[in-house]
Structure 1
């Protein structure tokens, strides 16, 4: 399944060379969309803008920023924000003006190595953390910023994607931050780029090229990431590099109140990662809240309704009111907010999945006739093998699904490592199948090992007469309904070998799904 907007790994390899800018000409608009904000309503204050502002970082590097100040005479809390990968501080202007119009002093900056800032891109590593700390100190020196002590501003951080990762990494090192709002952030970059060891090359390639085109990348990152794209297999050194720049390696050190915002449709940083951040910070006895909506690093398949935009705006203001202004917004902000597409509304909860959901185990063997041997040949373009295998479970009453499904599938005959892909689908009464949130999970099996795989977190409501389906394949392009714009259907690296795999739908083959029935 290829088209003019789909890049194979060979395309990516060519893109790593001199002709990369021409090859990925269609990628920049997609990555630019990562930077955009939903429309924000204005507050009661007019905003003064100072640009540029230059701040000297810990190592002498110049970090360039824009300062947004409300027309308020008394000192106010501050918000520090930066952009996504490959972006600039200009991308944060709508968000910065939104907060400033509501009375916050906002500093939006070019992350190191991007835009007008100096230095080299270290993938939200120690250097970027040092930059954020220098900017916190700079804010504390402003007369119109409230402080809680010397060099200690009353401040929150808010940002998307790359601008979300820096929040968590900085908070692990610096307790001066009073509140975080990481949107579309990762938990473990090693998992993000290669979940269960399968390279997500459809994202890794364009992001790598975009970083080279729009920033000055650190040589260590270039030396580690380039070969991974060429081979289709990330090295242990690259995975360690990613983990060092991830909350997964420092969860116990993050003690800043955090409102985690993530999108059901995000195919770069799955909701699973937001769940890990939310629960991990919560275990530190810190105010940790979760908001899930139809957003993320996927644009055509993730419409944002006015209900969602308004809810998020109210939530972030309530969050800052709680932790920066000692307000009473806590009563209006649930621990967990889950957007439900069927009702275009948010369900408030104290847990995830929300109350009333129980994990139900579906036996894949129940979909096989008793007289049939429950053995299947899963193929990858071979003549006698199935390109996909599906297991169907009819729904007799209205059934809600919210949470992380888990698939257990005995396999054999791989003769090596096989990359396997799985998706949960709904099938309507006319037989039309839809991949839930366009999400496909990846795993790998060695020789005769079973596939035990947490699928991507999803939400949906099925009506009586519809069908819940799980489908597996050796190529994720066989499963995708909506390609990522500019990237295509194949997000993951296919196995070099084998071309087929035997699958058993016996008693050990199960799909576990969190459900709530009417």
Structure 2
């Protein structure tokens, strides 16, 4: 598999050229919308070639939802998740607070229309009715497709314009979506100055870290990618089908078991996906500030809070009004016992979707700010509890409470709980990124699986925030663990949990028989020693 990095750099150069070319000739805006209120299936041509069809441009399919209220309208683009087709019909009412987060995202469309926003739901390149091949958000391909949609909207919809702008091509446009539908926003906002605000939720900063923690295949999610590729839900050059062969049973779960060129190609492909690789290539002053509301979940076992923390820091460094709310459930793993939960962050955010819509009204329609006080971040620490902070919580450090692991043998089926040697003082909260220094010994292909545990009086220990990570054998392995958020009660005992196998990493052939991908094999056994520092800080009080 070829490395993605040269292609990424070429894409950045081409995207910059396309951006300059497009900005020199803004589309002619109609005085009234050319579409009647209602739902319309549309398409346009992107200037990027379609290698699948062999044409010089690519068809981009989308659905336009025009509100009943007279224009001009502000515009909101909603992108779905990886492999998910666009919303082509008006969704039903959003009346199930604890329904799937992804179903609820699409059900915001009628609510956006009721607030006076026109909405466009689209098929990404290589998805649904759009042409082209999947590029994993290539700035020179996928992003140009989305810019072509905004060009189309300027020619066919009566869009509201920013009154303070001197540019005739400055419509009021925002973006929304989760997962893959969150990642596109961060990059599009940099490549298209018409984007005024973004709401990226449950998305990544470093995709390679999320799918390959320490080079260990997070098999459940890789399996989903393989399944979508084999079933034609996404179309590319066969890359995803090839990925299915990287770690088939009975091979171990690590990339050590596959040819180095294939392993390097897969890592590079993932590492080059999204806006953070683009940002790292930019000269000072090249990236622009953008107003953003980030929403992430501490129990998201695909994209943990670490991703939101990195995206928040990067956006804040650029300037702009950047906000962060965390809730409980995002990408849940049903085989690990996770369930959908209402997206709540304490009393101030009884429903994160309402907060998203209020944010868009504030940025696009000059509505008054609602919800959290200015400069306040909200971190959910329980079903109805939250912490307010003025900044991100600090990572654990050598002064933090420390769990000492002394040559613990991990084998068989049951997890091992290693408790903190001293009790946690009252008035504390577990919030932030744990740090670890570990020695892991085991046979080739063995893996240590660990997370933080919480044991309450008279109860067995439970996993905190649903977060499990993998560590390969080695000495003095220093690493950041997935971030956690948990309110504490008097008598709570914190510690580290170690598993020989876990649903997030084990074989899942029974779920999709046609797509067997690698996982931690039965019989996995390791010896673990070292220290884990816990991000325990004073609580600001239950909100």
Q: When the two structures are superposed, what TM-score results if normalisation uses the length of structure 1?
A: 0.77
Structure 2 CA distance for aligned equivalents of residues 491 and 228 of structure 1: 8
Alpha-carbon displacement from aligned partner over 1:129-180 (angstroms, at most 9, x marks no partner)? 1111101111222342123545442100101111111112222322221111
Query: Helix, strand or coil for the counterpart of 2:490?
Result: coil
Would you say 1:67 and 2:64 are equivalent positions? yes
Question: 1:408-447 maps to which residues of 2 (within 5 A)?
Answer: 408-411=437-440, 413-414=441-442, 418-446=446-474
Instruction: Give CA deviations for 1:299-344 in whole Å, capped at 9, x if unaligned.
Output: 6524433755843133213322332233442785554543435471
Aligned with 2:112 (options 73, 95, 99): 99
Which residue of structure 2 lines up, in the alignment, with residue 364 of structure 1? Answer: 403
* Contiguous gaps of at least 5 residues in structure 2: 1-35, 49-56, 88-102, 256-261
Query: How many Å separate the matches in 2 of 1:175 and 1:210?
Result: 33
1:200 touches 1:491 (CA, 8 Å); kept in 2? no
Q: 1:288 to 1:303 in 2, by over 3 A?
A: same
1:179-218 equivalences under 5 Å are 179-218=197-236
What SS is found at the alignment partner of 1:452? Answer: strand
Partner of 1:7: none
Is 1:165–2:183 an aligned residue pair?
yes
For the residues of structure 1 that align with 2:120 and 2:59, how far apart are their CA atoms? Answer: 15
1:65–1:107 Cα contact (<8 Å) kept = yes
- Matched residue, 2:133: 120
Deviation at 1:399, TM superposition (A): 2.9
* 2:312 alignment partner in structure 1: 278
Structure-1 residue corresponding to 2:37:
48
The match for 1:378 among 409, 412, 436 is: 409
Distance in 2, Cα, partners of 1:468 & 1:491: 34
Task: Name stretches of at least 5 consecutive residues in structure 1 with no aligned partner.
Answer: 1-46, 366-373
- Partner of 2:319: helix, strand, or coil? coil
Q: How does 1:248-259 map to 2 (within 5 A)?
A: 248-251=276-279, 253=287, 255-259=289-293
Pick the aligned partner of 2:491 from 465, 482, 497.
Answer: 465
Q: Which has the higher helix share?
A: 1
- Of 435, 457, 470, 1:406 maps to 435
Pairwise CA distance, 1:445: 3.3
Q: Distance in 2 between matches of 1:450 and 1:317?
A: 47
Give me the CA root mean square deviation.
Answer: 3.5
Identify if the C-alpha distance between structure 1 residues 214 and 159 changes in structure 2 by more than 3 Å, giving closer, same or farther.
farther
Q: Is the 8 A contact 1:51 1:67 kept in 2?
A: yes
Q: SS at the partner of 1:171?
A: helix
Q: Cα distance, 1:421 vs. partner?
A: 1.5
Task: Report the Cα distance in structure 2 between the residues aligned to 1:280 and 1:378, rounded to whole angstroms.
Answer: 40
Contact 1:204 1:229 in 2 (8 A): no
Aligned to 1:6: none
Shift of the alpha carbon at 1:380? Answer: 3.6
Cα deviation code 1:265-293 (max 9, x no counterpart): 11111111111111111111232211100
| TM-score between both structures, scaled by the size of structure 2 | 0.73
Tell me what 2:359 maps to.
319
CA distance in 1, matches of 2:408, 2:389: 43
- Please give the secondary structure, in 2, of the residue aligned with 1:318: helix
The C-alpha deviation readout for 1:436-464, integer Å capped at 9, x for no partner, is 12211222233xx1232222211112222
**1:260 Cα shift?**
1.1
Q: Is structure 2 residue 416 aligned with structure 1 residue 388?
A: yes
Indicate the residue corresponding to 1:15 in structure 2. none
> Contact 2:220 / 2:505 at 8 angstroms: preserved in 1?
no
**Residues 53 and 479 of structure 1: is their aligned pair in 2 closer, same or farther, counting only changes over 3 Å?**
closer
The count of aligned residue pairs is 449
Task: Give yes or no for contact 2:456–2:492 (8 Å, CA) kept in 1.
Answer: yes
Aligned pair in 2 of structure 1 residues 395, 319: CA closer, same or farther (>3 Å)?
Answer: same
For the residue of structure 1 that corresponds to 2:120, the secondary structure is strand
Give the 3-state SS of the residue equivalent to 1:98 in structure 2: helix
The question of whether the paired residues in 1 share the 8 Å contact of 2:298 and 2:329 is answered with yes
